[in-house]
Structure 1
């Protein structure tokens, strides 16, 4: 047998056991990694959160009203109409301590009383403001239960919890696996597609309770875990751009949705007439007190420059600077 054949045979023998030990990271393995590198998520009750207001022409809906349109709709689905964008009594919780920033969002898609224990979606973003590492968790829809029945959220378990109290769901029963959370489709893009500039996103909807949301607009930012390892986020800017004075600009959903939504070039899905009129459809800067004309004079050129960069995926425009997201282990060069 030739030397080449011997080498091929050795490679094949070594490849088999390596493949046998390769497996998808489980929820508990991922959660353990998040605890080691970021911190603990405590158990929580969604009803302890702060209500995110819903208004129509500045007024809350009636007690039995399920509005389809409102002044400040949820932008969890930023490019298309979605169920629950204007349903009252979704809640936000800030579970942060020290450098461990934890934001939990308990979403209603079906109208229920304020303190009803059932919710239709629960997501948690955990981020370390020192090392920039970030983890993502999303609740499962209970099996064999109609979707309209919701998720009982009186005790949301820590994702690394092995043995829950008697009568409570375990972490494995409650949370999706990281591989499912990381999977991106055209209809449901993964978290990182929207959170492309940082772990926490401002919008008119969440801006109503922004004091309950941890922020880290300039810190390091990277998602840990095997399922998220293929995502390499980039930020973009142009010379003298006014939009990058307060935060970074991402090159994923910021390009396809959030830039246009924040400056009136796109209408918010689920938005009423007030939502699609100035100034509510110009929500950057967040303290906007300018007239429409003043806003255009100050910002239109910067917006147009960034949108031009969005149309330059090959990064050939010399006015566009694309930079890897600052993290603890950047390996990609600037363009």
Structure 2
């Protein structure tokens, strides 16, 4: 089973365990964290969310209107994989690939409320910043909008920018601090447990706009994010790890099942019907019987490792990191 790791984004992308309080007395400000990330990985440029590629929302194979509000759809967002939310099938989300060289930058702009299709207003912006050479990764999430209808995201400020031009919104006003991102109950790293970018049917529709680094070094920098020590798992001859790593946190709890027939939040009947219900491998052209014969034993083996790590044959390996990741 193939799983390239990528969208979507989206850290706000995810839910997870609440992080413990920081040990340091001094918490990094967003400007301090932004400067560290720019120095060790690369600068995030200012960008306009509306210029990104829209992620389609379809129901029974047909794209919904911009003002539609379906409760279930063919490829819902897995931003919150533990519950049904109206935002999972909300039209208007956009993805931007701002990468250059070894610096990978994926920006995800989403809407929680209905607004005009061409509006520059969004409810949330999240950015994953990753370096394919040293593996260092940073996580950025916008503050919630001050009013219904979102905030103007026509110029998203770089997190390290001290003074914005003109009357534009400042980074300290736009972005949460790293401590706020790390401590919230929705944990970026718990979902992104095998790499910086996570594939789902939703984000897979615009996969060509998402950077990937499925086998590279991977570690989160900054003191706020040091609570996680990520590991991957495998078993002998496992078909699920041929193209990617598999993590042991939310991959165990949710994504292994979702990729192989378990009902996911927001799924409609079509999404729960084979082959759409089995989205790993991504180039699946097998019959259901063929899929079961090729992959079910490997899937079951990984599930046993999740539930009983001491099972013979289960191998757990720390994800390779930069020597100076911290």
* Shared fold per TM-score greater than 0.5: yes
Match of 1:55 among 44, 54, 58: 58
Q: 1:104 to 1:63 in 2, by over 3 A?
A: closer
Instruction: Tell me if the contact between 1:324 and 1:330 (Cα under 8 Å) persists in the aligned partners.
Output: no
Match of 1:301 among 297, 300, 316: 297
Match of 1:283 among 279, 285, 309: 279
**Aligned residue number for residue 162 of structure 2:** 162
**TM-score normalized with structure 1 length:** 0.88
Superposed CA RMSD in Å reads 1.4
Larger radius of gyration: 1
**Aligned residue number for residue 67 of structure 2:** 64
Match of 1:321 among 310, 315, 321: 315
CA distance, structure 1, for counterparts of residue 73 and residue 143 of structure 2: 28
Unaligned runs of 5+ in 1: 1-20
Match of 1:134 among 134, 137, 150: 137
Question: Post-superposition, which runs of at least 4 consecutive aligned residues in structure 1 deviate over 4 A?
Answer: none
Unaligned runs of 5+ in 2: 1-23
Instruction: Tell me if the contact between 2:114 and 2:149 (Cα under 8 Å) persists in the aligned partners.
Output: no
**Aligned residue number for residue 174 of structure 1:** 174
Which structure dedicates a bigger proportion of its chain to helix?
A: 1
**Aligned residue number for residue 34 of structure 2:** 31
**Aligned residue number for residue 183 of structure 1:** 183
Instruction: Tell me if the contact between 2:72 and 2:266 (Cα under 8 Å) persists in the aligned partners.
Output: yes
Instruction: Tell me if the contact between 2:233 and 2:314 (Cα under 8 Å) persists in the aligned partners.
Output: yes
SS at match of 1:85: helix
The within-5 A match list for 1:203-242 is 203-242=200-239
**TM-score normalized with structure 2 length:** 0.90
Asked if 1:78 is matched to 2:74, the reply is no
Residue correspondences, number: 302
Asked if 1:253 is matched to 2:253, the reply is no
Instruction: Tell me if the contact between 1:233 and 1:324 (Cα under 8 Å) persists in the aligned partners.
Output: yes
SS at match of 2:62: coil
Match of 1:106 among 109, 118, 133: 109
CA distance, structure 1, for counterparts of residue 124 and residue 85 of structure 2: 13
**Aligned residue number for residue 93 of structure 2:** 90
Q: 1:22 to 1:48 in 2, by over 3 A?
A: same
1:16-48 residue CA offsets vs partner (Å, 9 max, x unmatched): xxxxx9411111111111011100000000011
SS at match of 1:84: helix
CA distance, structure 2, for counterparts of residue 183 and residue 149 of structure 1: 26
CA distance, structure 1, for counterparts of residue 224 and residue 163 of structure 2: 25
